[in-house]
Structure 1
Amino acid sequence: MPSGEAMPGLLLADGPDPDHAEALMLYGRLVGEWTIVNRYRFPDGQWRSATGEWRFGWVLGGRAVQDVLFCPEFHDRFPGTTIRMYDVTTGLWQVTWFSPKLPSYFSQIGRPDGDGGMIQEGTDAGGGRSRWTFTDVTPTSFRWQGFSAGPDGEFELFQEMQATRA
């Protein structure tokens, strides 16, 4: 690494690592800016909706995709960031989301869902099971849903977003 290079220059990448470009496009196709409509179930059980932005970019030599999600109306819940790293040894994605302001984090494994989308499964900061899905993925839109395991072990929807490319 060149001494004195600014952190963004070391972090950001122009595109996917050419040695694994095809596999990296599972999430790489999301790179860019998206406008979102975010619907979130708050601890009181009420659903609230707000608009926001979701930006995806290549990082770490093009071997990972990082996003930043910002929803000003839920200022106490965002921003958050996710890093998705393709594991060349397993063919799966190591996924970590965190929001320092809450604080909260999730650790998941991502893979194709068999229908053109993606599924991520893992745990939240408290060890509870989580599942996130990207469905209806096109070049201009996608749907994201977040689920957590309820007391009976069944997954319950706690958040969903509809994204449109900005």
Structure 2
Amino acid sequence: MPSRDPMLDLLSADGPDPEHAEALMLYGRLVGTWKISNRYRFPDGEWRTAGGEWRFGWALGGRVVQDVLFCPDFHGRFPGTTVRMYDVTTGRWQITWISPKLPSYFHQVGRPDGAGGMIQEGTDAGGRRSRWTFTDVTPASFHWQGFGAGPEGEFELFQEMHATRE
């Protein structure tokens, strides 16, 4: 059996940084493994659905929640990762999503949505505005939606996932 990569030992953390644990639980409550039902609108306008897995974990001294999303049933879709860093100076989350094989990346800022969920807003690789939301968040499930700016600047849904904790 191969030994664990020493870099991964430095990357991972056992839990939230105790100094900011309460604030870190905004996304920290997602730490674990989730089964997802993923619905995605492809460039041809057609919606396709696939199952997948979304894993969240603590990283970088417990000040980061990092995830890996994998939907093997989307032909040509590859794993991606999101790094969510809590900025102690602003109380907001600095967020970067990457999927190198596509390639795809987003930069966003996250915050509580006032209703028990989270909202992230920023831009995609082409500089278009984006919004991602986590709603109906419970210890056992959540609903995620991804929106991109349409031709008139309004947000249009391009992806949604329903997650259930394993």
* Fold shared by both chains (TM-score > 0.5): yes
* TM band (smaller chain): over 0.9
Alignment of 1:87-166 (within 5 A): 87-166=87-166
Q: Percent identity?
A: 81
Separation of aligned partners in 1, 2:123 and 2:78: 19
TM, length-normalised to structure 2: 0.96
Aligned AA (2:53): E
Aligned AA (1:20): H
The equivalent residue for 2:71 is: 71
Separation of aligned partners in 1, 2:20 and 2:76: 37
Alignment of 1:37-52 (within 5 A): 37-52=37-52
TM-aligned CA deviation for residue 75 of structure 1: 4.5
TM, length-normalised to structure 1: 0.96
Aligned AA (2:100): P
Aligned AA (2:118): M
Separation of aligned partners in 2, 1:84 and 1:130: 16
User: CA-atom RMSD, angstroms?
Assistant: 0.8
Separation of aligned partners in 1, 2:52 and 2:130: 23
Separation of aligned partners in 2, 1:77 and 1:132: 19
Q: Deviations over 1:51-104 (max 9, x none)?
A: 000000000000000000000011422200000000000000000000000111
Matched residue of 1:76: which SS?
coil
The equivalent residue for 1:13 is: 13
Separation of aligned partners in 2, 1:97 and 1:41: 18
Matched residue of 2:126: which SS?
coil
Separation of aligned partners in 2, 1:144 and 1:70: 15
Unmatched segments (≥5 aa) in structure 1: none
Of stretches 87-96 and 70-79 in structure 1, the one that deviates more from structure 2 is: 70-79
Separation of aligned partners in 1, 2:60 and 2:86: 11
TM-aligned CA deviation for residue 7 of structure 1: 0.5
Unmatched segments (≥5 aa) in structure 2: none
Aligned AA (1:83): V
Of stretches 80-89 and 69-78 in structure 1, the one that deviates more from structure 2 is: 69-78
Aligned AA (2:78): F
Runs of 4 or more, structure 1, over 6 Å off, are: none
